[in-house]
Structure 1
Amino acid sequence: MKAAYLRYIAEFTTWPQAAFATDDAPIVIGAMGDDRSGVVEVMRKRIAGKGLTAQKRPIIVRTISVGDPQGDTAAQSLESQIADCHLLFLGASERTSWPRIRAAIEGQAVVTVSEIGGFSKGRGMIEFVVSQSDGRVAMHIDLDAVRKARLRLSSQLLGLKTGVKIVRDAGDLSFRAPMGRASG
């Protein structure tokens, strides 16, 4: 279900025009951390591996390594790895790396999604939360973090009847009207 949500997020996010080099440039999903839940493997097999698209763009799934936080080259390496990512998925193992990752993408139009507990309250955009009672996956969304990155989430994503909880929203909600696809 999480992999399907990632595809929906890619489909129903509007990025600034400059986020894509060309009209047919792919949506790049960067995957960071361990894959205990199997989300990255499912994305590779069922989304990128089958040629599924989002917004008529191919989806590429790329593994990204945080590297050693002690050296400048590691930070540059992280920045260069995520430079063309549109969406970052952080496994739960990236909890301690999140502040460094957040600093590396500061000012960029990158959707951040994670399984890290409390992620959406720590300025991450979308947190996957699994219900202990029935195993259903919900998305907790920080709309302020989304807006700060110059991104917009469609009402088709925000309006899901189950599974979406807005955890922070100090801004104008008028953008929730159905929106067009991102342009290149």
Structure 2
Amino acid sequence: MIRHLCRLLLLLAFGLVGSAGMAAPPPGEYQIKAAYLINFARYVEWPSGRLPVGGVLRLCILGRDPFGGGLEGLDGRQVQGREVRLREVDNLEQAQDCHLVFVSGSEERRMGLILRGLAGRGVLTVSDIEGFAEAGGGIGLVTEENRVRFDINQASLVRDGLRASSQLLRLGRQVLGMERVSR
């Protein structure tokens, strides 16, 4: 009887594992954040001198890459008629050549230095470091009630010569540096 019960439990366990393997797992946090990055690139305009029509949009990761290969599918995609190129950068000088820089959590201690170094250079800065937008970053990703949301620092975008679309501004959890766009 015990042997029969053990076999039944094993079959049930394999059946549950097998059926769970067939269903697509929900996207992970950094897959969602990767999708946000490409959409930010779609809904932000750079000055034509900084990112000419038909030019390559350089999306960079500054610091340790938390995406675990989740950005690889973005390399070569088209956004606003521009090819997206991914690049990992190690320092501020390399980041200055980028159009969109994701500042990794590994750079939290240097965040102020990074934001000052990229200010006014036409670089959209994005991070999930707590308080990023409030500290002067362009867009801060926040997780709230198990959902990824974002805050926009409109004053920082204007300072950097960037323009967020009204749709993007309406979707932001908070828009700092301007009156909230009505829904």
Residue 47 of structure 2 is matched in structure 1 by 16
State whether residues 169 and 175 of structure 2, in contact with CA within 8 Å, keep that contact through their aligned partners in structure 1. no
The alpha carbon displacement at 1:167 in A equals 4.1
Deviation digits for residues 132-183 of structure 1 (CA, Å, limit 9, x no counterpart): x3x21000111111111111001222233xxx2224124797xx9xxxxxxx
Q: Which residue of the partner structure matches residue 14 of structure 2?
A: none
Q: Which runs of 5+ in 2 are unaligned?
A: 1-31
Is 1:64 aligned to 2:95, yes or no?
no
Is contact 1:28–1:85 with CA below 8 Å preserved after alignment? Answer: yes
Q: Secondary structure at the match of 2:173?
A: strand
| Equivalence for 1:111 | 124
2:62 maps to which residue?
Answer: 32
The equivalent residue for 1:5 is 36
- Aligned-residue RMSD, C-alpha: 2.0
Conserved 8 A contact 2:43-2:165: yes
Which residue pairs with 2:4 in the alignment? none
Q: How does 1:124-163 map to 2 (within 5 A)?
A: 124-131=137-144, 133=145, 135-160=146-171
**2-side partners of 1:82 and 1:100: how far apart?**
12
Is 1:86 aligned with 2:99?
yes
Equivalent in the alignment of 1:169: 177
Q: Find 1:43's aligned residue among 55, 71, 82.
A: 71
User: What TM-score does the superposition give when structure 2 sets the normalisation length?
Assistant: 0.75
Query: Cα deviations across residues 32-84 of structure 1 (Å, max 9, x unaligned)?
Result: 12233x2x62112x211xx3211011101110113xxxxxxxxxxx32x1232
CA contact (8 A) 1:16 1:150 kept: yes
Instruction: State the distance in 1 between where 2:180 and 2:147 align.
Output: 30
> Following TM superposition, where does structure 1 have runs of at least 4 consecutive aligned residues deviating by more than 4 angstroms?
none
For each residue in 1:109-133, what CA deviation from the matched residue of structure 2 results, as whole angstroms up to 9, or x when unmatched? 11100010011110111111012x3
Greater helix proportion: 2
172 and 116 in structure 1: CA distance in 2 versus 1, 3 angstrom threshold: closer
Structure 1: runs of 5+ lacking an equivalent: 67-77, 177-184
Number of aligned positions between the proteins: 151
Deviation at 1:12, TM superposition (A): 0.9
Would you say the 8 A contact 1:112–1:126 is kept in 2? yes
